[in-house]
Amino acid sequence: MSDISSASNMSSLAADLTIVREFLDRTNIPAELRVTERDALISQIKELLQTRRAKLVAHYYTDSLLQDLAEETDGFVGDSLEMARFGRDCEGEVLIVAGVKFMGESAKILSPEKTVLMPTIEATCSLDIACPIDRFSEFCNEHPDRTVVVYANTSAAVKARSDWVVTSSIALDVVDHLQANGEKILWAPDKHLGSYIQKTTGADMLLWDAACVVHEEFKSRGLTDMQQIYPNAAILAHPESPAAILDVADIVGSTTQIIKAAKNISNQEIIVATDKGIFHKLQQVAPDKKFIIAPTAGNDATCRSCAHCPWMAMNSLQGVVNSLLNFTNEIKVDDSLACRAMVPLQRMLDFANSNKLKVQGKA
């Protein structure tokens, strides 16, 4: 019998949300630039990338200008894991990571010899915030019989306390494999992703209680209404979305899997339940299709994270310039912590290789 349960012995989710709110209150979205300012910054970045022997690595959720710039300068746009793998394998001495803090940390863990910078170090993730190492460690200690599997959206310290790190593109395969070995799992931090994996694999999973502030906003009622307007549209959803969304989705997958599906699916209209930063790449890979953002709980000012991650939005052209010019916002991970965090990360990479799975982040 599989057993799905929430971490009921943890402090309440309300306490976590208070901390998340504090971080959200500190976010500040860069102001719109005039075209001349924008073009001047782009030229300056191109020059700095060369003189600093640096590569720009951007996530699909960041500003389209940063994504284009990364590709034009032989950098990289992709999901969190592939960003780190590109960083590890590329020739530059400096990586400038446009994304959120855990991505900078993963890049540093996989590339200890490189200088890893970020346009802002204030950019974090509600999943990372809601899974502090001290409480997480206690939770693990209370369940020593369970294999600890954590999502990549966690701090280096949480990774170091785990047996496996997974991204959304490989989580199902890893849990399937562990279940076949008869292992019981302690999963953190995303409860929706954990619950989706549990339902799909039937594994015995104990779940941490945290969620992504962006995906949590997608609402099934609005989605049903939207389906009346677009009856022929396919629904593609990221597994950080609530179960009611995943239940009606045609395809559930990571950012990379969503982009691939959008290209291959025959539907001309596609409703997408993930951060709208991904629309830039979606429109590039399938220019003739119509992409529609799935409905969220609030609108404009009433919604803090209407399908766009407030932390991803903090990455700006000006931030890239400042960081490259002055080597500010450098990501450092303590050596011994990095060594310990590398073990579960490497386990995932080896698993992907030995199973001929493509844990790919480039669509």
Q: Which residues are at the interface with ligand 13P (CB under 6 A)? A: 59, 79-80, 152-153, 167-168, 212, 240, 254-255
Among ligand SF4, ligand 13P, none, residue 306 binds (CB under 5-8 Å by kind):
none
Q: In three state form, how does the secondary structure of the chain look?
A: CCCEEECCCCCCHHHHHHHHHHHHHCCCCCCCCCHHHHHHHHHHHHHHHHHCCEEEEEECCCCHHHHHHHHHCCCEEECHHHHHHHHHHCCCCEEEEECCHHHHHHHHHHCCCCEEECCCCCCCCHHHHCCCHHHHHHHHHHCCCCEEEEECCCCHHHHHCCCEEECCCCHHHHHHHHHHCCCCEEEECEHHHHHHHHHHHCCCEEECCECCCCHHHECHHHHHHHHHHCCCCEEEECCCCCHHHHHHCCEECCHHHHHHHHHHCCCCEEEEECCHHHHHHHHHHCCCCEEEECCECCCHHHCCCCCCCCCHHHCCHHHHHHHHHHCCCECCCCHHHHHHHHHHHHHHHHHHHHCCCCCCCCC
Task: Name which of residues 279 to 318 contact ligand SF4 (CB under 6 A).
Answer: 309, 311-312
**Nearest to ligand SF4 of 294, 312 (CB atom):** 312
Q: Which of 207, 212, 261, 352 binds ligand SF4 (CB under 6 A)?
A: 212
**Pick from ligand SF4, ligand 13P, none: which does 168 bind, CB < 5 to 8 A by kind?**
ligand 13P
Question: Considering only residues 57, 95, 97, 127, which one is a binding residue for ligand SF4 as defined by CB under 6 A?
Answer: 127
54 contact choice in ligand 13P, ligand SF4, none (CB below 5 to 8 Å, kind-dependent): none
Residue 213 lies near ligand SF4 (rule: CB under 6 A): yes
Name beta bridge partners: 164: 149
157-196 mask for ligand SF4 (x: CB under 6 A)? ----------------------------------------
CB of 16 to ligand SF4, least distance (A): 13
Q: Report the nearest approach of ligand SF4 to the CB of residue 214 (Å).
A: 4
76 forms part of the interface with ligand SF4 (CB under 6 A): no
Closer to ligand SF4 by Cβ: residue 118 or 127? 127
Q: Which does 311 bind (CB under 5 to 8 A by kind): ligand 13P, ligand SF4, none?
A: ligand SF4
Chain center to CA of 158: 16
> Is the bond leading into 189 cis (omega within 30 degrees of zero)?
yes
Q: How many residues sit close enough to ligand SF4 to count as binding (CB under 6 A)?
A: 13
- Of 98, 125, 286, 359, the residue at the interface with ligand SF4 (CB under 6 A) is 125
Closer to ligand 13P at the Cβ: 143 or 362? Answer: 362
- Are β-strands 185-188 and 164-166 bridged in parallel, bridged antiparallel, or unpaired? unpaired
Q: Is 359 left (phi over 0), alpha (psi -120 to 50) or beta?
A: beta
- 245 touching ligand SF4, by CB under 6 A: no
Q: Considering the rule CB under 6 A, would residue 131 count as an interface residue with ligand SF4?
A: no
Q: Which does 213 bind (CB under 5 to 8 A by kind): ligand 13P, ligand SF4, none?
A: ligand SF4
The CB-of-167 to ligand 13P minimum distance in angstroms stands at: 4
Tell me the residue number closest to ligand 13P, measured at CB.
79
Q: Which residues bind ligand SF4 (CB under 6 A)?
A: 100, 125-127, 153, 212-214, 240, 275, 309, 311-312
